[in-house]
Amino acid sequence: AQRHRDKLPLVAVVDAQLPSFPPGLAERLAEICRPYYFNRSASEQTEAKVDEAQVRGILLFGEDHVTDDVFQRFPNAVVISNFGVGVNHIDLDAATKRGVAVGHTPTVLNDATADLGFAILMAAARNVVTGDAICRDPELPVAQGQVQYPMSIIKLGVNVSGATVGIIGMGRIGRVFAKRCVGFDMRVLYHNRSRLAEEQEKQLGNAKYFSDVDSLLPECDFVVLFTPLTKQTRHMINEERLGKMKKNAILVNMARGAVVDTDALTKALADGTIRGAALDVTDPEPLPRGHPLLKASNVVLTPHIGSATTQTRSTMAWVVLDNLRLGLAGEPLKYQANKQLG
């Protein structure tokens, strides 16, 4: 058995949180490779050093940047398998130049991510988080021997049903999210690099296409971001564009934190330019302790958990292993981000 294991390819497992592995992943991983676990932020590695020139694959967790220095550290790697759909933290050009296939996990997390996007949209619209805090407040007033909810501190929310939603990034997840909106009789507007087919628009409540973001923003009660982070989309939502949104609008970011200019959003929320925000992602992530957004009552925050359900993470795990196995065998990946590699 040991002789068989010694023949398995060596794979660097980067920044993995082993207790959070889906059940069976570590065992299955050990069947297809020799995993070398290390955490780049740790002062000491938990396993003995290996000859990193022997590493043939990289299994990537977290979103620390993977640039050319990583490829120099593992010069003979042929595949990166990323646990997640976003690959903006991986230098795809450097990977492609070195012949390294980059795998990721699109499609399998569409429903879970869309569900969370709608959940935090609802939470921001209906003041769920502040309402929860009121219910738990040990200092609620007592009148005639009965604890009372003081109506003076209960802030009114806004309707979701029948409202207008603008979706920026109508890819797989954006379209799944739009289906949820249709169920709430919302008017669906969208901006995308390319327009959907007419039949797709009909299926999404006769969704209306906007060729530019600036003309979409003033129409929306909710603006929801699903666009990937690129040089073009970095700080797409800036001070100027926040100023074009309705004063009563709510911004929802399910994309990447840097799609939004954090300083501009902080200011817009503080001075009432927009009503509120719901953010599953931030820039930086996490926000520094003491950041104004952490104290803002008109912000709902979740810790980048779009795909964080038991079922979805389990499915992602098997896709990650499939991509890794195929890449080590020199075969096309199930889901490959740098498809130009062939």
Spatial distance between the Cα atoms of 15 and 38, rounded to a whole number of angstroms: 6
- For residue 142, pLDDT beyond 90: no
Q: Residue 22: is the preceding peptide bond cis (ω within 30°)?
A: no
CB 183 within 8 A of CB 161: no
Q: Alpha-carbon dihedral of residues 282, 283, 286, 287, nearest 10 degrees?
A: -100
pLDDT digits (tens, 9 = 90+) for 177-212: 999 999 999 999 999 999 999 999 999 999 999 999
Q: How confident is the model at residue 40 (pLDDT cuts 50, 70, 90)?
A: low
- For residue 329, pLDDT beyond 90: yes
Q: How confident is the model at residue 18 (pLDDT cuts 50, 70, 90)?
A: low
What letter does residue 108 receive in the DSSP assignment?
A: T
Q: Is beta strand 164-168 parallel, antiparallel or unpaired with respect to 79-82? A: unpaired
Measuring CA to CA, which residue among 71, 133, 131, 132 is closest to residue 101?
A: 71
Is 175 an active-site residue?
Answer: no
Q: What is the mean pLDDT of the chain?
A: 92
The residue type at 139: E
pLDDT digits (tens, 9 = 90+) for 267-292: 999 999 999 999 999 999 999 999 99
Structure tokens at 254: 């399910």
Q: Work out the average pLDDT over 141-150.
A: 83
Is 285 an active-site residue?
Answer: yes
- For residue 114, pLDDT beyond 70: yes
- How many residues would you count in the chain? 342
Q: Residue 332: is the preceding peptide bond cis (ω within 30°)?
A: no
Q: Which of 52, 219, 239, 285 is catalytic?
A: 285
How distant, in Å, are the alpha carbons of 11, 60, 91, 199, 220 from that of 80?
9, 7, 11, 37, 39
| Highest mean pLDDT (candidates 5-19, 79-93, 135-149, 230-244) | 230-244
Is 239 an active-site residue?
Answer: no
Q: Taking the model in full, what pTM does it have?
A: 0.89
Measuring CA to CA, which residue among 90, 160, 26 is closest to residue 338?
A: 90
pLDDT at position 48, please?
Answer: 57
CB 165 within 8 A of CB 220: yes
Measuring CA to CA, which residue among 260, 306, 253, 261 is closest to residue 278?
A: 253
Structure tokens at 83: 């646990």
Q: Which of 256, 275, 313, 325 is catalytic?
A: 256
- For residue 21, pLDDT beyond 70: no
